[in-house]
Amino acid sequence: MFYDESALGDRKSSWMDTEHRVILNVGGIRHETYTHVLKKIPATRLSRLTPNLANYDPVLNEYFFDRHPGVFSMILNYYRTGKLHYPTNVCGPLFEEELEFWGLDANQVEPCCWMTYTQHRDTQDTLAVIESLDLDGDPPTQEEIAKKFGWEDDYYSGTLSKWQQIKPRIWALFDEPWSSQYARTISLINICFVVLSIVCFCLKTHPYLRIPDIDVGSLNVSHPRAVYVGKTATRPHPSFFYVELVCNMWFSGEFLCRMLFCPKVGPFLKTPVNIIDFIATLSFYIDWALDSALSGANRDSVEFFSIIRILRLFKLTQHSVGLKILIQTFKASAQELFLLVFFVLLGIVIFAALVYYAERVEDNPDNQFDSIPVGLWWAVITICTIGFGDLVPKTYLGMLVGSICALMGVLTIALPVPVIVSNFAMFYSHAQARSKLPKKRRRVLQPHEIKPIVGRSTTAVLLNSLGPKPHVPSNIGDGLGAFATPLLVCPNPGENIRKGSNTKANKML
């Protein structure tokens, strides 16, 4: 008897190939590969596959994983080629979750896909910032209020006192304009007082709205009736004082109420807007106390510090989504703004020194740059492309320095502007998209978030989740309870049912 050795070799090779072949069923999609391919990346889930695993089906000779099949194609290709690419049709967090499940490092993504892959992180950071700004104006739930005030234990136990129930409501009236109709009314009144205070602060400096500050004195001690009248200065009309008094009484009461009913006094007093509000209100009372004791230039010096009252306009940020986004844009662009200021200051110093020496090189009797500090003022105006014209170079070399200074100013200021505009557009677009989302979205609980219900049987929980209970005989209910118990306790009910069916099939065979 003769045997074909080549045919025997092919059969042996085919048998060896079948023995080392692995079938992976991921999300209903079958993938076939070899054992040595999965061993290329050790200490991962696929490198430790054995028939003893619970997800191995001996009937179909395959491993079943209920995971995303599209992402797994990229992961399996990573085992084959050693290069991990990011699929553009998959969200970033889903890709990270799949990599974590299969035991792979996300930092192994190829450089060509890294920028696309990390975009979701920037998006998540932006959404987290927008979430902290509270732009939607939805009233918080009772649970969120309890967490903000640190009363979670009392809330869950149902032992909230009257003070704990009233305090958040009063706080919401002054700090959450969209929480109720009363809060909107108080917010509107607050805006009116802020605007009225700023208008009065500006109008009282107008010459037609000021009255002479008359100094009356006696010319002769022996004749008291002989007096002199001297117009030394002017002062605001008294009506402005009463208007500002009413406004500051409102600001004082509002500040005290917000401080009394705030969740925590420490963080409240450290907020920049509250610091400005406190100093602006305090400056009015200090000005009032010193007004009678001072006169002339001394009074003007005290009024100079009252300019901080204009900063009350920042209180309007809590009522405007655009202002909140604009402030957050400047925070996000702090690095670019710092570089802008640095290069502008560098250019100011350089061109101030250049124009000073350029004007001294040639004979120039009309030289206006007698020092470098004077050149600093000229450089600031030129780099910012304002050009007042009070200081101008007269020599050709000085004109050349001025031309270069103006060009460098345009380039220096124009470069960071697109970055700032891009940040504002990013925040604004995400805020607009978030505002169009449904107010309430169905949330799927994760396995670790499911809490057991104490005092109720597993069968009752399952039956109640199915809706109204029909009349069920006792023996059927017992069978249902026996079936439902392992179904709810096991980590993967689908695998439990499938394994049970496979066991019955094996017995039948």
Taking only the tens place, the pLDDT of each residue in 376-391 is: 999 999 998 888 888 8
Same domain, 313 and 257: yes
Residue 390: CATH number of its domain: 1.10.287.70
Residue among 356, 376, 377, 378 nearest 367 (CA): 356
Q: CB–CB of 149/168 below 8 Å?
A: yes
Is 24 a member of any domain? Answer: yes
Domain closes at, from 296, 319, 342: 319
Is 393 a member of any domain? Answer: yes
Label residue 251 by pLDDT band (50, 70, 90): very high
Q: What mean pLDDT do residues 497-509 have?
A: 40
Is 129 a member of any domain? Answer: no
Separation CA 485–CA 468 (nearest Å): 20
Q: What mean pLDDT do residues 467-496 have?
A: 41
**pLDDT confidence of residue 386:** 87
Same domain, 352 and 304: no
Domain closes at, from 62, 91, 117: 117
Same domain, 192 and 269: yes
Is 164 a member of any domain? Answer: no
Is 156 a member of any domain? Answer: no
Is 466 a member of any domain? Answer: yes
Same domain, 343 and 272: no
Same domain, 15 and 99: yes
Separation CA 255–CA 194 (nearest Å): 13
Number of domains in the chain: 4
**pLDDT confidence of residue 189:** 93
Q: CB–CB of 240/203 below 8 Å?
A: yes
Q: What mean pLDDT do residues 299-326 have?
A: 77
Least confident range of 8-17, 312-321, 486-495? 486-495
Same domain, 20 and 54: yes
Same domain, 364 and 484: no
Same domain, 347 and 252: no
Residue 87: CATH number of its domain: 3.30.710.10
- The two tokens of residue 437 are 């989302």
Taking only the tens place, the pLDDT of each residue in 404-439 is: 999 999 998 888 888 888 888 888 888 887 777 766
- Domain with 478, as residue range(s), is 447-508
**pLDDT confidence of residue 98:** 93
Separation CA 424–CA 106 (nearest Å): 30
Residue 207: CATH number of its domain: 1.20.120.350
Say whether pTM exceeds 0.95: no
Query: What sign has the CA pseudo-torsion 380, 383, 387, 391?
Result: positive
> At CA 119, angle to CA 115 and CA 122, rounded to 5?
125
Domain closes at, from 117, 141, 166: 117
**pLDDT confidence of residue 247:** 93
Q: CB–CB of 41/79 below 8 Å?
A: yes
